[in-house]
Amino acid sequence: MPLLAVLALMALPFLEIWVMILIGQQIGVAWTILALFATTVAGVLVTRRAGTRAFRDADEAMRTGTPPRGGLLDTLMLFVGGVLLTVPGFITGLVGLVLALPVTRPALRWAFTAWARRRMARMTADPGGVRVGVRVPGQPHGEPPAARPGEGTVIQGRVIGDGESPASS
């Protein structure tokens, strides 16, 4: 999966330029540049709005001592949509527009929460995310796979403060 994402990100600039050329042939170079400029300006405005909204919600939550409202996912979608609109290109602009429009956000929110629930269910079925016989990244070769939380040997001990020495106890 990561290789596919890397390949898609590498191909995106070439696809963007190809779409720009196609659109430029249809509507003209000046209108194409104007459309790209308009999407960039719209992206800056959307990103600014999302940032202001997030700051206002966080400020209100800290002043009142209540948890932030549930609109965090909407704010995140607005922010990502604004950033994608800011990037020059029609493909990223279209994806950014889908993320930024209030009409499409409920469907995207539903899809994301469904994906997150499935992911959480998989993670709770396999606590720690460690599978037996699979080497954990960063773990030296030849060592047994890492133990799951709650497994392993418990070593009794006590915490020694800065002024104490281990010999004085």
Inside any domain, residue 68:
yes
Inside any domain, residue 89:
yes
Inside any domain, residue 118:
yes
Q: Which residue has the higher pLDDT, 122 or 80?
A: 80
Inside any domain, residue 54:
yes
- Where does the pLDDT of residue 76 fall: very low under 50, low under 70, confident under 90, or very high at 90 and above? confident
- Give a three-class secondary structure readout of the chain: CHHHHHHHHHHHHHHHHHHHHHHHHHHCHHHHHHHHHHHHHHHHHHHHHHHHHHHHHHHHHHHHCCCCCCCHHHHHHHHHHHHHHHCCCHHHHHHHHHHHCCCCHHHHHHHHHHHHHHHHHHHHHCHHHCCCCCCCCCCCCCCCCCCCCCCCCCCCCCCCCCCCCHHHC
Q: Of the ranges 21-25, 54-58, 158-162, which is most confident?
A: 21-25
Closest CA to 104 of 141, 77, 140: 77
How confident is the model at residue 83, as a pLDDT? Answer: 92
Inside any domain, residue 168:
no
Whole-structure pTM over 0.75, yes or no? no
pLDDT above 60 (res 131): no
Inside any domain, residue 57:
yes
Q: Which domain holds residue 25?
A: 9-125
pLDDT above 70 (res 94): yes
Inside any domain, residue 75:
yes
Mean pLDDT, range 139-168, rounded to an integer: 66
Mean pLDDT, range 151-166, rounded to an integer: 73
How confident is the model at residue 42, as a pLDDT? Answer: 92
> How many distinct structural domains can be found in the chain?
1
Inside any domain, residue 169:
no
pLDDT above 90 (res 30): yes
